[in-house]
């Protein structure tokens, strides 16, 4: 069985990772902005 073949396309992977990655990146960005106040 292949790791990636006809069953899962690159689009599936992009959508799946985007679905969790975008909210997480948004949260990390907000936290980074807040954390920068430590250095101001």
Site residues for another protein per CB under 8 A? 1-8, 12-13, 16-17, 19-21, 23-24, 26-28, 30-32, 34-40
Q: What is the C-alpha to C-alpha distance for residues 24 and 21, in angstroms, rounded to an integer?
A: 5
Query: What tokens does 40 get?
Result: 């101001």
Residue with tokens 């990655």: 21
Q: Where are the alpha helices (DSSP H) in 1-40?
A: 10-35
Q: Whole-number minimum distance, CB 5 to another protein, in Å?
A: 3
Q: Whole-number minimum distance, CB 36 to another protein, in Å?
A: 7
Q: Whole-number minimum distance, CB 22 to another protein, in Å?
A: 10
């Amino acid at each position: 069985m292949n790791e990636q073949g006809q069953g899962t396309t690159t689009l599936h992977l992009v959508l799946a990772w985007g679905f969790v990655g975008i909210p997480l990146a948004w949260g990390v960005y907000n936290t980074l902005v807040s954390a920068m106040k430590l250095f101001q």
